[in-house]
């Protein structure tokens, strides 16, 4: 994906490099919050974006990206290294994906 385009909207959480990890989230969602907490606790470096806080073209672009990985456009959607996608707060799967 054209991931360079979305860097501007992304917040980066520093941590161990386990490949590119992107969390698409909503700022109001409890499951997104838990997913963000889990990734933080696991000490993995990742980027996240609150799609509900975006507007206009920026939002349209990020929405298309999420739909590319997850056509239902649901949250949280976590993309690992442009290959693996986990939809929802699936704790065991997320741990496994980052090798924790």
Partner 1 sequence: MPDAVSDGEVDRLMQDLAEEAEAGGYHLNPDEGFTCDLVRGLLANRERYGYISCPCRLASGDRDDDLDIICPCDYRDPDLSDYGACYCALYVTADVEGGERAAALVPERRPPPAERRRRKEERAAADRAPGTLNYPVWRCRVCGYLCARNVPPEICPICRVPRDRFERFM
Q: Under the rule (CB under 8 A), what is the footprint of partner 1?
A: 26-33, 50-53, 63, 67, 71-75, 87-90
H helix and E strand count, the chain: 3, 5
Angle among Cα 79, 3, 93 to the nearest 5 degrees reads: 5
CB of 31 to partner 1, least distance (A): 6
CB of 23 to partner 1, least distance (A): 14
CB of 4 to partner 1, least distance (A): 23
Write down the residue that tokens 């990890």 correspond to.
Answer: 21
Cβ distance to partner 1 smaller for residue 13 or 63: 63
Cβ distance to partner 1 smaller for residue 21 or 62: 62
């Amino acid at each position: 994906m054209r991931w360079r385009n979305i860097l501007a909207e992304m917040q980066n959480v520093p941590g161990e490099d386990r490949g590119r990890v992107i969390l698409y989230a909503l700022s109001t969602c409890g499951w997104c919050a838990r997913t963000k907490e889990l990734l933080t606790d696991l000490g993995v470096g990742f980027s996240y974006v609150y799609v509900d806080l975006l507007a206009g073209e920026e939002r349209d672009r990020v929405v298309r990206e999420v739909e590319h990985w997850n056509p239902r456009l649901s949250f949280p959607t976590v993309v690992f290294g442009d290959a693996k996608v986990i939809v929802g707060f699936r704790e065991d799967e997320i741990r496994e994906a980052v090798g924790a």
